[in-house]
Amino acid sequence: MVTLRSLRSIRSGPVTDPSHTAVADATRYFDTWLAFRQQYDRVPGLQAAVLHHDKLLLSTAHGCADVESATTLTPRHLFRIASHSKTFTATAVLQLVERGALRLDDQAGQWLPFLSGRPLATVTVRDLLGHGGGVVRDSRDADFWQLVHAFPDEDRLRAILLDGAEVLPANERFKYSNIGYSMLGMIIAAASGRSYHEYVREHIVDELDLANTGPEYDMARAGDYATGYTALTYADRRIPIDHVDTAAMAAAAGFFSTAEDLVHYASAHFLGDARLVSDASKRLMQRAEWKIEGADAEYGLGFGRAMLGERLVFGHGGGYPGHITRTSFDPVGQIAVSVLTNAIDGPAHMLAEGLFRLVNLAQRAEPQSGTPVDPARFTGRFANLWRVFDVVDLAGRLYLLDPTQKDPTAEPVILDVVDERTLRLSGGGGYGPVGETMHYEYGAAGVVSVSAFAMTAYPVRRITEAVRRRDRVSPGTPLVDRSGD
C-alpha cells in the first residue's frame, strides 16, 4: 500500500540541508537533554552519537554500563542492536543485486530448495525485504526472546519454515517478520557462496572500518558489552539480563555496535555516497513499500520511514533482551543520530526523534536583531519547587523548553532579550506568563537565580543539592539557602 505522501521524491521536501550552526546548536542541547532523560526515565545507561555530513558532532554516554559494579558507560561500550541487523541484511541483498548474483524478484525456493512445494517457496526476496511475505513473526514458540531456550539454529529455522510459517497471503499487508529476515540471511549465504557472517563482515563492516560492529555476539569481547536490564513496567527495580547469541536469526537480530559506528554506517546511506550501494539502490530501499497499520510511518526495503515535521527520516530500531536502540538519518540533509539504551524499556526511539525535532526548530529560528547582548549568558537548566526548564540558544534565538516533555520542541516559548539581565516571554500557551519577564541575578560563577513564572528558580544543581540535604519542605524555610550568595 502506497500513500500519496509516499510517492513524493525524497528530495522534494522543503527541509534539505540545514545550516551547520543549526545542527551544531541542536546537538549541543541534545546532549544535555539526554543527560536529563537518562535520570528522569531511570534508564541505567544511554549512549548516543550525531553526525552531520562527514563530521561527527557528538559521541556521548550517560549513566552506567553495569549498575552492580558501578561501571561508568562510555562511547566505546558495545550494545546489542537487534533489528538494526535488518538494515545490514537489506544492504547485503542490494549489493548482490547490483552484482547480478541475486534478483529482487527471485523466489525463496530458488535459493532454499528445502521449501519446494511449500507456500513460502514462492515468496520473493523483495516480499521478505519489505515484510510483505506474510511470514510468521518469530515462530510458534518465541520464548528464546525471554532466554527460556536458545535462539533457533539453522536446523531449527528450517523446521520453523516448514511448520506453517506462512500465516498470511503474500502482499496482503505489512507484517513484520524476524523469521522472514532470517530466511534472507540463508539466501545471502546461498547467493554469495559464503556464510552470512562472512559476507556482511567483509562487504559492509570491514568496508566501512566499523571496528566496534559485528553480526553476532562476540564472546572474545564479553567485557566490552553494556549489561542489559529488565523493565520498570512490571517491577520496582531492574535486574541484569545475560547476553546470548541469536544463531540462525542473526540476519534479523544479531548485530552489535556502538552509537558512533552506527552514525558512520548510516552515512553510507546518504545520497551521493557510493561505498556500499548506488544511489539507485538507496532510492529503492528508501521508498515506501507499505503503510504500517496503526502508525504514522511506512516501511521500505530494510528501513522504516516517517515524517518528522517536514523532514523525511529513515532508520530502524532494535529490541534485544535488555537493550533498546534506534538509529535514524536524513539522507538528503545528511544528518544521522543513534541512541542506544541498556534497558528493555529504554526510550531510544523517542530520544532519536528528539534530535531531528530540535534541528527543525533550530533551522526555523530567526535570531533576534538589534541586541548586543550575548544570548549565551542566559542559557542553562533551571528549577524551582514546581518545575525544571531550559533556556536554550538555537541558531541565535533563545527558547524556553521543557526537558520533561517527550518532544521538547512541542511547546517552545520564544524569549526576547530586553537587556543584559532580562528576558521577555514573547509567546507560549495561554496558561503561561505570556508577555511577562524573566530577571537574572549573576555572581562570580555565573547565574545565581532567575525570577521566572513569578517564582525564583535556580541552576538545577542547587535544587538537586538542596533536596539531597533536606527531608522536608516547611513553611517559611526556603528550599535553597541563599545566605552565601
Structure confidence by residue, pLDDT tens digits, 21-40: 999 999 999 999 999 999 99
How crowded is the C-beta side of 459, counted as CA atoms within 13 Å? 16
- Amino acid in position 52: H
Distance (Å, whole) CA 108 – CA 250: 18
CB of 312 within 8 A of CB of 329?
no
Locate 59 and state its grid cell.
Answer: 559521541
Distance (Å, whole) CA 352 – CA 13: 20
Distance (Å, whole) CA 164 – CA 345: 32
* pLDDT over threshold 80, residue 76: yes
Max Cα distance, the chain (Å):
84
Distance (Å, whole) CA 162 – CA 118: 8
pLDDT category of residue 477 using cuts at 50, 70 and 90:
confident
- Looking only at the bridges linking them, the beta strands covering 311-320 and 255-257 are unpaired
Listed in order, strand segments (DSSP E) in 186-239 are: 228-229
| Residue 203 DSSP one-character state | I
* pLDDT over threshold 80, residue 201: yes
CB of 217 within 8 A of CB of 244?
yes
Distance (Å, whole) CA 406 – CA 230: 22
CA 162 to chain centre: 35
Burial 314-327 (b: 16+ CB within 10 A, else e): bbbbbbbbbbbbbb
Considering only CA atoms, give the Rg of the chain: 25
pLDDT category of residue 146 using cuts at 50, 70 and 90:
very high
CB of 348 within 8 A of CB of 315?
no
Q: What is the pLDDT of residue 15?
A: 45
**What residues contact 445, with CB distance under 8 A and at least 6 apart?**
none
C-alpha dihedral, 110 to 111 to 114 to 120, nearest 10°: -70
Find the distance separating the first CA and the last CA of the chain, reported in whole Å.
64
Locate 195 and state its grid cell.
Answer: 556464510
Please write the tens of the pLDDT for every residue from 95-121: 999 999 999 999 999 999 999 999 999
Please write the tens of the pLDDT for every residue from 208-246: 999 999 999 999 999 999 999 999 999 999 999 999 999
Please write the tens of the pLDDT for every residue from 386-412: 999 999 999 999 999 999 999 999 989
Q: Which helix (H) or strand (E) holds 339?
A: strand 335-341
Instruction: Quickly count: other Cβ atoms within 10 Å of residue 340's Cβ.
Output: 33
Distance (Å, whole) CA 316 – CA 304: 6
Distance (Å, whole) CA 413 – CA 427: 5
* pLDDT over threshold 50, residue 323: yes
Listed in order, strand segments (DSSP E) in 53-142 are: 55-66, 71-72, 79-82
Identify any residues that bridge with 52 across adjacent strands, giving them in sequence order: 55, 335
